[in-house]
Structure 1
């Protein structure tokens, strides 16, 4: 976002969490709006501010907010750019289990051990806590240290002693220490891209000989996919060279 601001663009940020609010302000957003995934709220925000381009940076997986943004952009002829991290190249190892969905991850993890350590944050947590195959399993979650997030974990029945509230990314050494401390039988992670620490989590699990379930991304149908803000700037100069966001 800082590159866009430095390039002279007027940047508004729509975020879903308090943490996102703080980060956007630090990065120089002209204004920051806490929004939910309701399409009408987002449409009002974009139309009232005469936004010409939306950059969806909801890393690493598109969210409900992403879906709403896409629909609003199509309806109002607003250009949509999807910013995402590059995929992680998974090691060829019998302890690495790639899956295509949250429910598949729950199923596979239930087959691999009793203490299941989720490094996927609070998104999708209800899929694991409510899955029948998870009955009798101990679920440990690592999430950002934000009140709303921690409350969600507790509301879903996660014991306070099994909530690891820390902000990453983490080194391989740190991951190993945490996984050992909680006696994890299996690790679950998303393919959040190399820069997010996915490799470090996988390597830590493999060094401890712990199976790791990796939730892969769906192939994006978006045509305007870029992988960093430099690519965003280059694309903006092509599609809208005389106007700012």
Structure 2
């Protein structure tokens, strides 16, 4: 069985590792190529886009894929939409692997928004030193904010447009609670902005913000495409895949 994993996440790498142990399963992990030095999973790897839903459907046909598991970032909604269209066109099963989102607990001061643009407008009403952990790709939404200083944490250096008052901290998770506490203290952070990405690797910042009384602007995640089944863990995804049976193509 040939499985295409739309990857780039910790869960995608774990899924590739689990499937690598199954002799009857061959995997191809597709990475977007936005990170300069990605951590490569086992199995075959391709880097770069497909050319929209039509290009992905063509790839699925040409490479005789039997299933697709969309294990992209929870906010990669364009890729997820393309995957849903392509899988339907080629008539191969599709699963979305989505780690559960975060939930506020007692003591949290969360401000939920639906977009990065709303996050930018909300953050400026809450403070003047903002820890921005939404990644480098959406910085244009904050470029117009001139009355706030931002600390951006990113794996790779950003490209403009971005806010005029911004320092960049190049780092890759997982992050520790002690480290996040020190970061908030050292930079005098009074607002945290994040996406509801879920997972444990970057969750300590939420605890550190709660302890420090720092408000958190949380961008809600987009839903998975309608009709696509969702697994919460790589193990659930493997179980789903094995239930789909033998390769669809002889």
Q: Tell me the CA shift for residue 159 of structure 1.
A: 6.3
CA distance in 2, matches of 1:20, 1:242: 36
Q: Tell me the CA shift for residue 112 of structure 1.
A: 0.3
Structure-1 residue corresponding to 2:147: 136
CA distance in 1, matches of 2:115, 2:164: 25
Q: Tell me the CA shift for residue 21 of structure 1.
A: 7.2
Q: Tell me the CA shift for residue 45 of structure 1.
A: 2.3
Aligned to 1:178, which of 176, 183, 197?
183
CA distance in 2, matches of 1:20, 1:67: 25
Alignment partner of 1:163 is 2:164: no
Alignment partner of 1:213 is 2:224: no
Change (3 A) 1:138 1:121: same
Alignment partner of 1:55 is 2:69: yes
- How many positions carry a matched residue from both structures? 232
Change (3 A) 1:113 1:222: farther
Structure-2 residue corresponding to 1:16: 32
Normalised by the size of structure 1, how large is the TM-score? Answer: 0.84
SS of residue matched to 2:121: helix
Q: Tell me the CA shift for residue 20 of structure 1.
A: 8.2
Aligned to 1:191, which of 167, 175, 196?
196
CA distance in 2, matches of 1:94, 1:81: 33
Q: Tell me the CA shift for residue 93 of structure 1.
A: 3.2
Structure-2 residue corresponding to 1:103: 117
Normalised by the size of structure 2, how large is the TM-score? Answer: 0.82
Q: Tell me the CA shift for residue 161 of structure 1.
A: 6.5
Q: Is the 8 A contact 1:154 1:160 kept in 2?
A: no
CA distance in 1, matches of 2:53, 2:164: 34
Change (3 A) 1:37 1:60: farther
Instruction: Give the CA RMSD over aligned residues.
Output: 2.4
Change (3 A) 1:109 1:36: farther
Q: Deviations over 1:191-211 (max 9, x none)?
A: 22242322x111111222211
Change (3 A) 1:222 1:44: same
Which stretch of the first structure deviates more once superposed, 116-125 or 92-101? 92-101
CA distance in 1, matches of 2:234, 2:180: 29
CA distance in 1, matches of 2:42, 2:171: 25
SS of residue matched to 1:155: coil
Q: Which runs of 5+ in 2 are unaligned?
A: 1-15
Q: Tell me the CA shift for residue 79 of structure 1.
A: 1.4
Change (3 A) 1:121 1:37: farther
